[in-house]
Structure 1
Amino acid sequence: MSTLNEGRAVIVTGAGQGIGRAHALAFAADGASVVVNDFNLDAARGVADEIAAAGGTAVANGADVADWDAAADLVDTSVREFGRLDTLVNNAGFLRDKMLVSFSEEEWDSVVRVHLKGHFVMLRHAAAYWRAQAKAGHTPQARIINTSSGAGIFGSVGQGNYSAAKAAIAELTIQAAAELGGYGVTANAIAPSARTQMTLGAGDAMAAQMAAPTDGSFDTMDPANISPLVVWLGSPESGGVTGRVFEVEGGTVTVLDAWQRAASKNKGSRWEPGELGVVVADLLANSPQPVKAYGAR
């Protein structure tokens, strides 16, 4: 049994069910003490009780991760209960799917708030704690694992709010890796594909695709498949990996390497608009073709 996280303290947000629950159980099984956060406090308590029943250590927390003060107290909870915080797993989120022309302001704001602001606020308070440790001469081996999505990297028709937030989370991860490395902090993100309440609620076709197999074969959509990489990224062993995004589905781990510079052409002076049609066509012909957005025709 792996014990890469023995003695470490971990916060997992949105851990009352689905992927977050799987992360919390996996970290506890790997030796970590876990703060199980979920806006549904009863669900968080249920997962904490599961961990305790298996011989692990966990406390439940019902904070709204996008609330500044509540998120600060969530970070403090780990320090109060376990004497430390080593790893933050930002996982909390929900969906409000519609086409761009149909969103209400609330449907846009609420999704961006919990995903993007929730990631930032938790990261901000955890980073302040780790920076203080580093300045006091106790540089941590701290880890941030954010949750992006294939929708955020490639786009997803009918999920403009979610896709925009998840794209921003991928960039926030790169930003955090660049700014926090000097304090002993790494930041990485995952883009998971698994069966959750969010995916099961995304329509009949998606639900059928996500259904568990009935023939005993490997369940590629089991949320627990995502957690081994997250547990490794949350451990001291992953110290050389930062600023990266990994897609995880079933037994497949893929590095997502987006927004690299491709073909370019320098005229040496200002372009005229009429010149650029041919130039852009040539640049696109000599650059990788983008992956189509999910659901695009």
Structure 2
Amino acid sequence: MNVEEILAKLVSFPVLGGQNNLSILNWIKDYIASYGIETYLVPNEDGTKASLHCRIGPAVEGGVILSGHMDVVPVEGQEWTTDPFILTDKGDGKLYGRGSCDMKGFLACCLATLPKMVQADLKKPIYFAFSYDEEIGCLAAPELARAIKNQYTETPKYAIIGEPSMMEPIIGQKAIYIMETYVKGSAGHSSRIKQEVSAIHEAMRLILWLEKKMDALIEEGRLDERFHPPHSTIHIGLVSGGIAPNVIADKAHFFWDLRTIPKDRVDSIISEFEAYCREREAILRKIYPDFNIENI
């Protein structure tokens, strides 16, 4: 099969993120096996989905991982003029189909090149690592990475993730950490704000600390011009709490994300924030012993 034929087959599997992916998985597994390559599956708990990995070439240190995902995004509400799950050549130099670019096109290139990989006298190994549920949060990627680490004694040196990038190499991205912070205070009439502990007020203090932390990182000159913006960011995207304007809120929580450049460590920033949370707990528990801040 040539690359276009393989892509047509892959596009024909309407496997969306979150759905059972055994149809496309088994086809890929059988295709790879037909060239004498052993594949390893990394299933989810109920066995309805699985990632796949394999190695072509010698069992030596180094080599490269070719990484991609098998799921695609939905097609509902989009103005398709052809069946999105039938690969279509309109004669304009492009192939149309859901996932033809993101990222079954890359999978097809990997699989179409497999016969040459098998025949070549490879000095370093080539690995395939194909995951599921990437489109809903890269849910399978961590377990797939652990499985590869545990399966092979040798460690690959490089990885190419075949996401569409207009043929511009992207060598990295910011780390991302998403957190929920819950604050438990004490309820009461708003006139008793100095006798109770407002969860909203304390959540505001924590949010302000996070904003000041981001500003401090920028002011310290912790920049990396390879990224845009060239500094780490902290963003609060959702805040909730309270039941009425005249009632002190006993509960509040907010969602925030931390995106760091390589020179800033996520664990270090999180540790500083946790330390500040413990400081606030020690102060506020003198007023309300059950005051609590929890980060998830």
Instruction: Say yes or no: TM over 0.5.
Output: no
Larger RCO (alpha carbons 8 Å, 6+ apart): 2
Q: Which has the larger radius of gyration?
A: 2
Bigger helix share: 1
Greater strand share, 1 or 2? 2
Report the TM-score, using the length of structure 1 for normalisation.
0.29
